[in-house]
Chains A and B, each alone.
Chain A
Amino acid sequence: MNWIPQIAFILVLGTALAIFIYHVRLLRRTILLGREAPLPGTSAQRWRQMLEIAILQGRMKDRPAASIAHWVIYVGFLVINIEVVEILLDGLLGTHRILAPYIGILYNIMTTGVEIFLGLVFVAAVIFLWRRNILKLPRFHTAEMRGWPPLDANIILWTEIALVVALFFMNASDQVLQQRRVEPYIQAGTFPLSQWAVPLLSGLSDDALILIERFSWWAHIIGILAFLNYIPFSKHLHIFLSFPNTYYAPITPPAQQDSLPQVTSVVRETLGLPVSGQGDGTEAPSVLGAKDVTELTWKNLLDAYTCTECGRCTSVCPAHITGKKLSPRKIMMDTRDRLEEIKRTIHQKGKWEPDGKSLLGDYITPEELWACTTCGACVRACPVLINPVSIIQQLRQYLVMEASQAPETINVLFVNMENNGSPWALPSEKRLQWMENIIT
């Protein structure tokens, strides 16, 4: 009756992948509700940016302790996934350790690598849990980090621990069964870590060991498939989205802010200048700036789903440091929460219909927006090139140009700039003052 586990495996795997693909497509559709965004630079520059920032984690090292633990989990994830390939093959084909006879000494290297990282990932995950829950690093305990966000983080870390523990016991029990030459436990692999658990298990019967081994095997693969389907609803999406997000992030100087093309047309018309750029295929959006997420660019929305809520942005934000309400991380989390709301509607109704709510007002307040100095510290701090300032700027544009809701002193600034060509109500002749005795 060897085929029953195989059928069960195929059903579990197929269902898990189908659900995952559905949610990935839903996610993609939600992100693409955003506006078109210009994409300057060459693809070579973008690949290099992705290599440096995402693959080689060039910015993680700004915080060395977190960086080391993160590297361990990142490499551990890749190494342990080699073992997962074998688990998938075994599950589909009804075999046991199918790779062992084919790859010779490489199999021992593989199992050794997996075992080393089982230990390292366990330690790194414990360190992360400790930093978050016991050391209570301030950036994990700001106002927006209540309820779901810290729970999400802890679920991820405990799941990682559960997955490595399952593999550990799978390997440990396998070794005892190998020693006893129980079928189908062939002599395969070296296990520098789980060998220490062998004496612990050697008193158990063959049946008990097989039960532990099979239970661990199934726990690991079902755990992975469940986790895979958890990710689209979690901050853990960064493990996939960091790569496209760093690829599509602007390669222009961070302080550069592009002009709105539809404004250019109006201004040029006002000044009697020839209006160019008509009919180039890019539909100018009707709303100036953004009130809701659908008026942001799709890159802003990708940013929001890529955010893993590490809070480096907020910890360097001058407004946040001095006690203002603004937190760049909250800007990203609000954008994502609003997107999730829209995504749920698409899931339920098949399409998005405006619900009378919006990012500006229902999630983000003007007080937060006006506290931003546009200093770009948050943008620099983000390990995956997320840009909260871009969202803040677009919401400000809406407030000013559509809603006419600038702070009073900012309106004075605008009037001065219009009337005097300077931020202050001073005559332009004063521009000559400093030159006395300097210019002939």
Chain B
Amino acid sequence: MAGKLMNAWAAAGEKPDILYWVGCAVALDDRAQRIARAFTKLLDAAGVRWGVLGTDESCTGDPAKRAGNDFLFQLLAHQNIQTLNAYEVKEIVTTCPHCFNTLKNEYPQLGGTYIVWHHTQYLYKLVKEGKLRLPDTANGEAVVFHDPCYLGRGNGEYEAPRVLLRKAQLHLQEAPRSRDFSLCCGAGGGQMFKEPEPGRKDINIERTEELLALAPKRIAVGCPFCMTMLTDGVKHAGQQKEVRVQDVAEILAERLGLV
């Protein structure tokens, strides 16, 4: 157990190795909370000393920014930067690619410069350093990874989640539209919080159908919004019994018997 709230670390006069920025969707959505549980168990297994902000964490401002409200974005961003700087945070890992992009690329101009990792990148680093050992027993279950736009296309990270899934002995499949030509789940740019414009089809249905055509046992995601959209898509197709939508961290934790 090497996880504490940041104010507990501060009270003990210590600093954690890394701040885990949970992100609203992971912290507040009942299903997505399991991502945080799985991820922190992996951190514990690797002996990482981590901190969380708890009630001091708030939205990075990303949904407001993408929806055109730069005021609200900057208001939240400045407040978060004040919090992070007060704890003298240097390194951040987050389970949300939208938080990841905002913290990494958009906070520096506002006075918040940190080393920022997406959790799949950080887990891959722990594996490379030998701190996190993945099971070598064969599993071979078919899994397809859905690239989050803000991790893949937006920030060029395609390998980390794939290497982790392969190292966890799963049979990794590729969707016809994958990596830099992956198809969005339909949640980005504020879409998560509004009704879609009139059209023939919902984007998450289009994407889920493409993934289900590969007949995977699991759909792996790296974003809580993708998780919601694709889970809905799988339900829409009536395949929620056959196909599980899981975060990469959940799959790894499960393979290691941590959950």
Chain A residues at the B interface, C-beta cutoff of 8 Å: 62, 252-260, 263-264, 266-268, 270-271, 273, 288-289, 316, 318-319, 321-326, 367, 370-377, 379-381, 393, 396-401, 406-407, 409-410, 412-414, 417-418, 421-424, 426, 428-435, 438-440
Contacts and interface: CB of A to CB of B under 8 A. Distances in A.
Interface string B20-37: 001011111000011011
Nearest to B44: A438
Interface residues of B, number: 80
Given A319-B197, A322-B202, A428-B55, A268 B37 contact: no
B55 A410 contact: no
A414 B156 contact: no
B193 A410 contact: yes
A331 to B, nearest CB: 14
Given A259-B106, A410-B190, A439 B206 contact: no
A422 B96 CA distance: 14
Interface stretch (B61-69, B131-139, B232-240): B61-69
Nearest to A440: B1
A396 B75 contact: no
Interface string B30-65: 000110110011000000000010110111010111
A373 B187 contact: yes
Contact of A316 (B26, B154, B181, B206): B181
B81 to A, nearest CB: 10
10 contacts: A62-B181, A268-B78, A270-B75, A321-B206, A376-B149, A377-B182, A377-B184, A400-B68, A410-B194, A423-B25
Interface string B65-107: 1111111111111110010000000000000000001001110
A304 to B, nearest CB: 20
Contact of B67 (A375, A400, A429): A400
A318 B4 contact: no
A62 to B, nearest CB: 8
B149 A255 contact: yes
B79 A271 contact: yes
Which of B4, B37, B184 is most buried by chain A, counting CB atoms within 10 A of its CB?
B184
B195 interface: yes
B188 A374 contact: yes
A379 B136 CA distance: 40
Which of A271, A401, A428, A432 is most buried by chain B, counting CB atoms within 10 A of its CB?
A428
B193 A423 contact: yes
B154 A376 contact: yes
Contacts of B125: none
B64 A417 contact: yes
Interface of B: 1, 3-5, 22, 24-28, 33-34, 36-37, 40-41, 52, 54-55, 57-59, 61, 63-79, 82, 101, 104-106, 109-110, 149-150, 153-156, 177, 180-184, 186-203, 205-207
A399 B4 contact: no
Contacts of B154: 253-256, 376
B78 A373 contact: no
Given A423-B193, A431-B22, A264 B186 contact: no
Given A372-B189, A424-B28, A267 B68 contact: no
A64 B105 CA distance: 33
A57 to B, nearest CB: 17
A288 B186 CA distance: 27
A252 to B, nearest CB: 7
Contacts of A421: 57-59, 76
Given A259-B110, A422-B59, 18 more contacts: A254-B153, A257-B66, A289-B68, A323-B198, A370-B194, A370-B197, A371-B196, A379-B153, A401-B68, A417-B64, A422-B28, A423-B24, A423-B193, A428-B55, A431-B28, A434-B36, A439-B3, A439-B52
Contact of B68 (A322, A397, A424, A439): A397
B109 to A, nearest CB: 6
Nearest to A267: B74
A255 B104 CA distance: 11
Contacts of A434: 22, 26-27, 33-34, 36-37
Contacts of B186: 318, 373
Given A393-B66, A397-B68, A421-B59, A264 B74 contact: yes
Query: Which 8 pairs show the lowest CB-CB distances between chains A and B?
Result: A255-B154, A421-B58, A323-B200, A396-B68, A374-B189, A375-B184, A323-B199, A400-B68
Which of A257, A322, A323, A414 is most buried by chain B, counting CB atoms within 10 A of its CB?
A322
A375 B75 contact: no
Nearest to A437: B37
Contact of B149 (A373, A407, A409): A373
Contact of B78 (A258, A273, A323): A273
Which of B181, B198, B199, B202 is most buried by chain A, counting CB atoms within 10 A of its CB?
B199
A48 to B, nearest CB: 16
Contacts of A429: 55
Contact of B72 (A257, A399, A414): A414
Contacts of B37: 434, 438
